[in-house]
């Protein structure tokens, strides 16, 4: 995002671990605001039930899945500058786009079935299970993990500090997703918001669908790709 990651990461060079950890927190919080993250978590929560506590739980579990692959893929980069082959990275990014497409389609189908109408019988839907949310997070975490490791390597020359910072980064990505999903889920428990959301859900689904297709094609260099 306009070089913000680079500017944040560069602040930690030569500083104490406390500063490095704070930077990792900021990176994790900012990473969660990337468009593909916001699109995925929004359609994940909107396509489920309207219990804000359930939404928070699903968002956190989604974030844990993301953190798992982020840490696993980032660790060899931090330790040995060992990157995934280009073809594998492209495939992972394309899979993220297809995941967003699937979530968007599910959202549209649930809207068609009347899941977002306020009132008895419509306030709750069939939410994702924790295992499904974790699996979605695992797939989504594959995309862009190499960039995370590069940023941490550039800022942290000590391997032990780099590994710890990578862990903090991954953890705060999960926490950020829990906060975002909890906020969105809470909003959907309010009948006035739910009534208005029912009118914009098709547009959100369509935009998410288009974004997912573009993200996949961009990963394969078929269209301009800016992330």
Contact 176, 28 (CB under 8 A): yes
Question: According to the model, what pLDDT value does residue 1 have?
Answer: 47
Reported confidence tier of residue 210, pLDDT bands at 50, 70, 90: very high
What DSSP string describes the chain?
-TTHHHHHHHTTTT--HHHHHHHHHHHHHHHTTSHHHHHHHHHHHHTS---HHHHHHHHHHHHHHHHHHHHHHHHHHHHH--PPPHHHHHHHHHHHHHHHHHHHHHHHHHHHTTTT--STTTS---PPPHHHHHHHHHHHHHTTHHHHHHHHHHH--SHHHHHHHHHHHHHHHHHHHHHHHHHHHHHHTSHHHHHHHHHHHHHHHHHHHHHHHHHHHHHTTSS----
pLDDT per position as a tens digit, 158-197: 778 788 888 888 888 888 877 877 777 777 667 777 777 7
CA–CA separation, 135 and 167 (whole Å): 19
- Mean pLDDT value of segment 152-160: 68
Decide which of 189 and 139 is more confident. Answer: 139
Q: Which is nearest to 23 in space by CA: 109, 136, 152?
A: 152
Residues 6 or more apart in contact with residue 84 via CB below 8 angstroms: 73, 92, 146
Contact 8, 21 (CB under 8 A): no
Segments making up each domain of the chain, as ranges: 4-219
pLDDT per position as a tens digit, 99-124: 889 888 988 888 888 766 655 444 44
pTM: 0.71
Question: According to the model, what pLDDT value does residue 214 have?
Answer: 93
């Amino acid at each position: 995002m306009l070089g913000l990651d680079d500017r944040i990461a560069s602040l930690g060079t030569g500083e104490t671990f406390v500063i490095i950890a704070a930077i990792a927190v900021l990176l994790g919080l900012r990473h969660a605001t990337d468009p593909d993250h916001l699109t995925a978590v929004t359609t994940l929560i909107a396509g489920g039930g309207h219990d804000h506590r359930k939404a928070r739980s699903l968002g956190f579990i989604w974030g844990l899945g993301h953190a798992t692959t982020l840490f696993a893929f980032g660790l060899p980069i931090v330790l040995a500058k060992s990157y995934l082959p280009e073809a594998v990275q492209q495939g992972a990014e394309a899979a993220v786009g297809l995941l967003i497409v699937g979530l968007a389609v599910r959202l549209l189908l649930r809207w068609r079935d009347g899941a977002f109408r306020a009132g008895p019988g419509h306030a709750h839907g069939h939410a994702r299970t924790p295992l499904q949310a974790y699996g979605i997070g695992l797939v989504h975490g594959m995309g862009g993990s190499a960039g995370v490791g590069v940023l941490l390597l550039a800022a942290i020359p000590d391997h032990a500090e780099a590994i710890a910072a990578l862990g903090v980064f991954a953890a705060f990505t999960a926490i950020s997703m829990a906060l975002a999903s909890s906020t969105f889920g809470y909003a959907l428990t309010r009948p006035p918001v739910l009534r208005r959301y029912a009118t914009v859900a098709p547009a959100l689904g369509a935009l998410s669908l288009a974004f997912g297709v573009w993200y996949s094609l961009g990963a394969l260099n078929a269209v301009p790709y800016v992330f």
